[in-house]
Amino acid sequence: MASFDFDAARRWARFDPGHTLARRDDAALPFADEGELAGSALLLDTCVYIDRMQGRAPAVVSGLISTRQANHSTVAVQELMHTVGVLRPEDPRSADVIGAIERQIKAMPDHRLFEPDAEVLGRAALLAGMLCRLQGYRDDGRLKALQDSVLFLQALKLGLTVLTANVREFDLLLQLVPAGRVLLYRKA
């Protein structure tokens, strides 16, 4: 990680507002609007794939994906494959879910699938650690914070906007790193 500035990271990690961060009012957050579909290229959060597979994605999500360039992260691939691993093979519904996930992953064009680099991974670990400290996250919350931080910082580095329904999590990330770009939506 030759490009990773450990001293700057250590200074950044000292950030302490003296309280847990609170979720802001919706009016202060960047929610997607069907009247404003054009804009920067997107990096899709895992929830976008899941919501679309389950028919819970609102029309604005389809509009954004068809209007803007949609990009994918290996973070989402990892989370989707985790789902495949936890499904019970004996459950008759598992085969359909696995098939839907397979189709989603195979539909991701190689030239639109991005891997986070060492700098993003290092900074995301630091950011997730800060969130865990500030918010008191434990167990699964820690892993979720890490995955969200990687996706958020990967999008920032690539100049992309994260599309997500994870309002609370990405609001907190935007509070810590206001330069990030996120478009939020509510599930249908």
Q: pLDDT tens, 151-160?
A: 999 999 999 9
Q: CA quadruple 111, 115, 120, 124: dihedral positive or negative? A: positive
For residues 111 and 24, give the distance between their C-alpha atoms in angstroms, rounded to a whole number. Answer: 36
pTM (two decimals): 0.89
The CATH architecture of the domain made up of 20-114+159-184 is: 3-Layer(aba) Sandwich (3.40)
The answer to whether the beta carbons of residues 147 and 43 sit under 8 Å apart is no
pLDDT tens digits along 26-85: 889 889 988 888 889 999 999 999 999 999 999 999 999 999 999 999 999 999 999 999
The mean predicted confidence, pLDDT, of the chain is 89
pLDDT of residue 150 exceeding 90, the answer is: yes
3-class SS shares of the chain: helix, strand, coil, % to 5: 55, 10, 35
For residues 3 and 55, give the distance between their C-alpha atoms in angstroms, rounded to a whole number. Answer: 42
Least confident range of 7-16, 50-59, 108-117, 141-150 = 7-16
Q: Which residue has the tokens 């989707």?
A: 80
